[in-house]
Every structure is written in structure tokens, then in C-alpha cells.
Amino acid sequence: MNSNINIPKSNSMKKFLFSTLHVTRLTDKNLFGLVKSTIGLAIPAKVNLGDLSKATLNQLIIDFEKYEQVLKRQQKSELSDRLSLADKDRNERFTEIKRSINLHLKGRDAIKKAVAQSLECFFKPFWKVETKPMNTETALLSSLFVKYHANIELQKAAIKIGIDILLTELEGANIAYDIMYQQRLGENAELADESAKEQRNKVIDAYTEFCNSIEQVSNFTPNESILVLFNGMDELRMEYNAFCPKGKR
């Protein structure tokens, strides 16, 4: 071990805590770089880690490899950009529908206001559907239209305030998105059940668990190798914290 490395000494007054890093605010590129560099630091020290830290490191490696595959395949897929545009299109259409409902809720026409209230009640479980993972959004919108087509009163209400055509267009946009999504899943068969967003979240969770385990061993069962790893990981956290945009992701 290099004797020139400055390793803090653990004692009753010292508590090892990693520097703050809002991992969820990192871009995919920076998250990839952070985790890859962290794994690079951790592997040489693995022999000196306890069972818990080894387990969390192994899980981080597994989730990172899947995340890497997702990113590579997305970069290569010609459908990725089209999927993003299709998702934006259906979100904008749904926003227009909600805007129309809200407009009539605030309007002076008592009949249309009552109709808008009934539609608002129907749409309430789906009101923030655009915040869900893309494939989840597709399923929720499909469920919405099954219920909509089964209720003639809802259809009449939609016609009454002029959103029936918007709903028809939204349904078509959702179907078009799902067709493209299924095509892309064909290109990524082994990852068919995990969207990029879901795998990203798994990597973030695994990274957080590994950091927590290293904090614990650094405080309770430290050795030179572990503290060198702690310092290296903390330097990475400070470095990547500079890449975090302000505000929530």
C-alpha cells in the first residue's frame, strides 16, 4: 500500500460520511461514469470487504451491466428518437384534453361546467399519467380507453365540451406508441421487461446501498484498504456533484 496516501484515522470522534450527491439529478452519461468509476475503485478492494459490502458490490455490478446494455441498445436503436417524439405527442394531446376540461370547470356555462366535473372525476386516476414510466403510461391510457368506450354517458360528455376528437387522436397516438415500443422490445428481447428508466432506478438504488455499506465498514470495521476506497469514492461524489443541475430531476 502506498504510504503517501493520506488516510484519516478512525476514532470515537470521527464519523465517515460521504459528501452529498443528488444521484437522481445526474444525466445518464454522468451516472454511467460515476458508477463505472466506483466499480473500478471497489473491485481491487473487494478481498478486504465484508459479506454485506461484497453482496452490495455484486448487485451494483449486475445492475450496472444491464444498465450499460440498455444505454448501448438505445443509442443504436433507430426507434428511440421516434419513441421519444411519440411519447411527447401523446403527452401534449393529453395536456390539451386536461386544459379543455379545466377551462370549462372555470367557465360560466353551468351545463358544460357540470359535464366537465363528471369528466374530471373520470380522468382523476389518470391525471398525472405522463409522469409514469413510458410503458406504464401506455397501459394506463389503454385502460382509460377501455373504460371510456364502455360508458356511453362519458362519450356524450366528451362531445358536449368538444374533446371527443382529441380523445380519439390520443387513443391513436397511444396505439402508435405501443406498436413502436413492441418493435423496440424485439430488438432488446432479453431486456423486454425492464425499461431504461426502471433499470436506471435500479442502478441508483444499488449504488446507494453500496455507498451505505462502505460508510458502515469505514466507521465500524475499517482497515487501510477500505478507507482508501472510501476516500476515492468520496472524491468521485464531489466531482460528479458539480455536474448536477439545480432543482429536481
131-145 exposure pattern, b = at least 16 Cβ within 10 A, e = fewer: eeebbebbebbeebe
pLDDT score recorded for residue 249:
43
pTM over 0.75: no
pLDDT digits (tens, 9 = 90+) for 89-145: 999 999 999 999 999 999 889 999 999 999 999 999 999 988 888 888 998 999 999
Extents of the domains making up the chain: 23-76+194-241, 79-187
Q: Check: CB of residue 113 under 8 Å from CB of residue 101.
A: no
pLDDT band at 27 (very low <50, low <70, confident <90, very high): confident
Q: Is the pLDDT of residue 10 over 60?
A: no
Rounded mean pLDDT of the chain? 86
- Integer-rounded Cα Rg, in Å, for the chain is 25
What is the residue type of 239?
E
Of 68-82, 123-137, 146-160, the range with the highest mean pLDDT is 146-160
User: Which long-range contacts does 185-194 make (Cβ < 8 Å, 24+ apart)?
Assistant: 187/73, 187/77, 187/79, 188/70, 188/73, 188/77, 191/66, 191/69, 191/70, 191/73, 194/66, 194/70
Tell me the C-alpha distance between 143 and 181, whole Å: 17
CB 106 within 8 A of CB 196: no
